[in-house]
Structure 1
Amino acid sequence: MKPIITKEKAIADKVGPIDIVRALPSDLTPRVGPIIFLDHILEKNLLPGEFSAPNGSFAHPHRGIATFTYLLKGELIHFDSNGGYGRVKAGGVQWMNAGNGVIHDEVIPEEFRVSGGAFYGFQFWVNLPAEIKEQAPDYMPVQAEELPLIQLADGQATLKVLLGEYGGKSSPIPAFTQQFIWHIKLSGKASIELKTLEGLEYGGYLPNGNALFNDIEISARELVVFDSNDTGITISNKANKELEILLFGGEPYEEKIVSHGPFVMNTVEEIGQAYEDFRSGKYGKIDYQITGEI
């Protein structure tokens, strides 16, 4: 079995009124493969009127990464300054390639703002190869039914392929290197063994509940990173209730990484250019009226 290199508790934080737990980057782990950021958006029952209509105050720029928002409960509307728009329901993904610069906003739909409801999910940042950082931005909304769902362990587990592939099943979301994000659900008292590939980096995160990863006990809201040999990962659920697991990673990112705020580039000079282009208006503006929904 793959040895565990590190395990550490994620750090609680807040983004506006939303409570989060930040698993990546951490003190011991700056990234796993091309995955450089993971926020666990804690489940929250939104109160009627808690969120106002979008006014641009949450809109912010990115460059050099792909943002990847996986929604478990609720709905989200995406707007960006490149004309990207989409509405994703629970179980779906908002994917945006920031490329050479874009401003985006993720908005709670009006009916949820009025009536309230449960909201819960995760956001990843995927670092882009240098050549992709220079390309125009792109956006893709993917609904739950478009993502492959694989039965494992004689029906005692499912693996949802959010990014990359597993067992010959691939996500429709673009992947510019070998990279993956899997959402696993494991029945109570069940175990699974997952195939791994030599040379890829593997990380895991437990949103809730405890489990054994390769016979090492992992607690809720802990990040684990595995050695890169190819001997597989075994996960055992010792509780009676269903367990959720995120596994993610990919091939090591070999290019130099320089990050500052919402920008992740390859040199200090490129970071400076990213800020200069943003401040000069080159990323454009968001049109919130393009759909008539807001």
Structure 2
Amino acid sequence: MPAITVDDVLVLPRLPRLDPAATAYRPVRRLITAPSGYEGEGFPVRRAFAGVPMPELDPFIHLDQMGEVDYAPGEPKGTSWHPHRGFETVTYIIDGIFDHQDSNGGGGTITNGDTQWMTAGSGLLHIEAPPEHLVMSGGLFHGLQLWVNLPRVAKMSAPRYQDIRGKESALLTTPDGGALLRIIAGEIAGHRGPGSTHTPITITHVTVQPGAEVDLPWRADFNALVYVLGGKGTVGTERRPVHTGQLAVHGPGDALRFAADERQDSHTPQLDLYIMGGRPIREPLAHYGPFVMNTRDELIKAFEDYEAGRLGTVPAARVPHSHGQQPPR
């Protein structure tokens, strides 16, 4: 799980030491084990938010962990062209390579530690696929796709694409150097990630060394979702055990506590977490398939606009992909 690493974390800025007597650590409200499924043209995913009430996720909607899978030659898969309106997709690649393209002219290739942030806004068509050379060779693939809701005032904004290279992430460590934090968006302890957001959110990928514990300051007006990408550890001051594919939904407070088990397996030698939080939008939500709007009438209009070709057309130069599959969620 390479993402972004450093030779010596001790040269990085450090999180402040928190005073336990003056810190409100967030309790773990809910612990979910993500069910497995398939997306797009058949690549395996874990549905990280399955079973969590939407008010506890707000402003987030959906999270898929894609892989981890080691493809044989000819096996790598992506998606067909599909529409989106009313939200943002945030795709983070840990291992492997993905090509992205949309009908608004956005797109590019992302690889280890890169993030593709697509604001669908008023609507576009979109495709995600492994490059042809990776299809031919096979190889390791592992990533995440997060859906972030847009507030009503931004749902019909112009589509936008952010190409965030992994090296642009703000890098931090803990006071004892036991963890590496990569801030993709938002701010932690005065350090800001490169992602530009429509509503206040923070996203960070944290790697915790075996036996290390992390006290992470977290905005009190944000929710807090901790997803285990790999490894074993505990979350909360109550030390709830967690492992790969589990999501911990936290209650109120101004800090998170988590730790990595002393003993990890050889495949996942550290605890890797994807931590998300944001200020809830608290607006009505109408979500069906690839559209996230505020009302049923707006959903119907989105489908009508898509069928009428008003969300864009497939460019002549397409990213190679397989055919015959239905659009993903």
Q: Tell me if TM exceeds 0.5.
A: yes
Are positions 1:233 and 2:240 aligned together?
Answer: no
TM-score (norm 1): 0.92
2:135 to 113, 129, 134: 113
RMSD (CA atoms) = 1.8
Q: Is the 8 A contact 1:33 1:200 kept in 2?
A: no
- Count of residues paired in the alignment: 287
2:293 to 254, 265, 270: 265
Structure 1 partner of 2:213: 191
Structure 1 partner of 2:52: 28
- Residue identity over aligned pairs, in percent, reads 32
Between stretches 62-71 and 215-224, larger displacement belongs to 215-224
Counterpart-to-counterpart distance in 2, 1:143 and 1:196: 24
Structure 2 partner of 1:224: 248
List structure 1 segments (4+ residues) > 3 angstroms apart after TM superposition.
none
Q: Is the 8 A contact 1:153 1:191 kept in 2?
A: no
Q: Is the 8 A contact 1:156 1:187 kept in 2?
A: yes
Q: Secondary structure at the match of 2:299?
A: helix
Gaps of 5+ in 1: none
Matches within 5 A, 1:1-294: 1-15=25-39, 16-24=41-49, 26-30=50-54, 31-51=56-76, 58-214=80-236, 215-230=239-254, 232-240=255-263, 241-287=269-315, 289=317
Q: Secondary structure at the match of 2:215?
A: strand
C-alpha displacement of 1:155: 1.6
**What is the letter of the counterpart of residue 252 of structure 2?**
S
Counterpart-to-counterpart distance in 1, 2:319 and 2:131: 12
Q: Secondary structure at the match of 1:154?
A: coil
TM-score (norm 2): 0.83
Counterpart-to-counterpart distance in 2, 1:51 and 1:42: 11
Q: Secondary structure at the match of 2:176?
A: helix
**What is the letter of the counterpart of residue 274 of structure 2?**
L
Q: Secondary structure at the match of 2:48?
A: strand
Q: Secondary structure at the match of 1:228?
A: coil
Gaps of 5+ in 2: 1-24, 264-268, 321-329
Q: Is the 8 A contact 1:99 1:134 kept in 2?
A: yes
Q: Is the 8 A contact 2:76 2:138 kept in 1?
A: no
Q: Is the 8 A contact 1:79 1:288 kept in 2?
A: no
Change (3 A) 1:88 1:49: same
Between stretches 98-107 and 167-176, larger displacement belongs to 167-176
